[in-house]
Structure 1
Amino acid sequence: MLTIHTDSGGRALAVRGAWIEAAGSLEELLAAHPGARVRRWPGVLTPGLVNPHGPELLQEAYHPDPREADALGTRPLTGDALAALAMDEARWGASARRGVQRMLAHGTVAAAGELRPGAVRDAVRRSGLAVVGRIGTPGGTPDLDPCASGLPLTFAPPRERGSAARFAVFDVRDEAELAERGAGTCVATVVAGRLVYRGR
């Protein structure tokens, strides 16, 4: 089934399966696909964010289970706090799944950096989150919100006809407001044509 995703400004993408069938204005896409399902989102539709700290957030940090919040809190654990935990492959895999879900909730569609073989890489692959290369270790502070890393925002390649349906929508007026308010303004993230995060 074809779905048209559109933002407050009328920018729209027509998605069939895992691919973008067309990009343009809502008016143009509705005329070309009158029977399509339409999802209207507040804010701006973007290609989605690339988090520059993939390994640091997914295989060098532990994302506590909500049931552990009383003892461990809710923020990723690193350093001595991580060293104090008994980590095995199963626990790393579960942590990575939670970390990926939290990345998706921030409009992240790709993580930069090489992931070692094992439970973390398997969890990321199954989620559909893309992994892209990077040169060296980036500066900034690893954060689930790429806007909080202290680095310039990096977006995935522009979405156009024939490209992978991988994008996000943020409830802001433009990219400048996104950088100012942060990626917690994400209202929807789509990966491989699937709505993998929906806020509010």
Structure 2
Amino acid sequence: MRISSDNIEEDLSPLSITILELLKMNEEEPVKGKVAFQKEMFLISNYVDKVNEWTEFVPHYLGPYSEISEVSMDNLISMNLVEKEEGYTYKITPSGIKALDLKQNLFSSEEKEAIADFKKFISNLTDDEILLFIYASHPDFTIESIKYRAIMRTRVKDSISIYKKGVVSLEKAAFLAGINIETLLDLQEA
């Protein structure tokens, strides 16, 4: 189903606008994979209260999951506002940019900056690093996870990797690793 610009404003839910906003951020850098998409939306929903009302995250096989976010993404793809490339990489289309431009007043500049920051943060991480960050920071969402034990087995290595990428502080890396800062520093140098 393709939509025309005549009725686009009626057809886009606030959640769809949020997804388009996410995809447009950081010079339209694609979102690489379902894990990255779901966890970016989760971080956004935890920061922006109105997004939290729309997303309905629940514990799932890979941590927090929002079925309505996935359905909204599929709808945006069917409307040709988002393109799904190989490997579940999501990219906003020119039509998506045009549609978003019609609905720019949903987020404050501070909220837009936060969305851009979450996207940049997640885009620098592997799926396992994303899951470690989410699992350590939001343990309530691990109860259904099929990867929790595997992620926890490699948490120190992945925490060091995240820290070396410069996206978390030493203190946060130690928290993610489940060890104290001194031990993390010793392991990092080894």
Tell me the TM-score normalised to structure 1 length.
0.28
Structure with a larger share of its residues in strand: 1
Higher relative contact order (CA 8 A, sep 6+): 1
- Greater percentage in helix: 2
Q: TM-score, normalised by structure 2?
A: 0.29
